[in-house]
Amino acid sequence: MSKNVVFMTAMVDAPDVLDYTEWCYKTWEYWCKKNNVELFILEDELQPKKSSKTESGMKPTWQRWHVHEILEANEIEYDQVALVDVDTMVHWNCPNFFDETNNKFSAVRDIINIGWIQQSIDGYQDMFPNVNLDWTNYFNCGFVVMSKEHKDWCKSVTDFYYKNDDELRRRQHETVKKGSDQTPINYMITESQHKINLMNERFNHSHLHLRGVLQDDLLWKTGWVWHFNGFEKTQRNQIMKQVWDMIKDNYETE
């Protein structure tokens, strides 16, 4: 019997990630069980770094677009799949967002740092000369919901990456320096035949420090999926643990 799936990438050889995944998993495991959703965590890199001294491997953010192939290779029957970043936590009473997509490509607008967004759009424009990407429709890739209808499109994403991997790495690390897959994904889905369903902002409550909600109960009053991004990564484990310690009684534990 098929289920909806929450899909995450958390590579076991990435020490900057492993410390805070504990707080992410505790919330998502509870939510998935409550909503009869399967949680799938990709821990093994599909395309690891060729050398510890280079960035020549495929970033986990790009590897996740192999999601349909990965689920099928693991013989997982599924309807819809949500790609969710491991620097997120989910509210214990978060509504089932799979019920709000109409099987469309669904995401949440990212309009907190408009300057960063526009610079990133400008930095990749020449790779998509026929696409007019407006910052007001720009979405964050930390929370994206798709269906099987998007399988072929995802294949076009990974094909694009393999064709342009050196240039994409150069733009990420040397020139544009504004994210990895997010802006190219915005361009590619915009130029596709797929309709974009922009979801309630509560489903990807990002840049929490800039929103002024990292205090007391404002976090769980204002958001359903909390995205701990936009600040120094070294702070992430401490902040997410502090949040967990405040809310853990709301999650059933065995």
What are the structural domain ranges in the chain? 3-250
Angle at 73 between CA 140 and CA 35, to 5 degrees: 55
Q: What is the pLDDT of residue 47?
A: 72
- Domain 3-250 listed as CATH 2.30.30.360: no
Are residues 38 and 50 in contact, defined by beta-carbon separation less than 8 angstroms?
A: no
What is the rounded distance in angstroms from the CA atom of residue 172 to the CA atom of residue 123?
Answer: 10
Q: What is the pLDDT of residue 17?
A: 58
Q: What is the pLDDT of residue 49?
A: 58
What is the rounded distance in angstroms from the CA atom of residue 27 to the CA atom of residue 91?
Answer: 7
Residues of the chain with pLDDT under 50: 51-55, 254
Q: What is the pLDDT of residue 252?
A: 78
What is the rounded distance in angstroms from the CA atom of residue 106 to the CA atom of residue 197?
Answer: 5
What is the rounded distance in angstroms from the CA atom of residue 4 to the CA atom of residue 223?
Answer: 22
The angle that helices 236-247 and 15-34 make with each other, rounded to 10 degrees, is 30
Q: What is the pLDDT of residue 53?
A: 41
Q: What is the pLDDT of residue 192?
A: 97
Q: Which residues pair with 145 in a beta bridge?
A: 82, 106
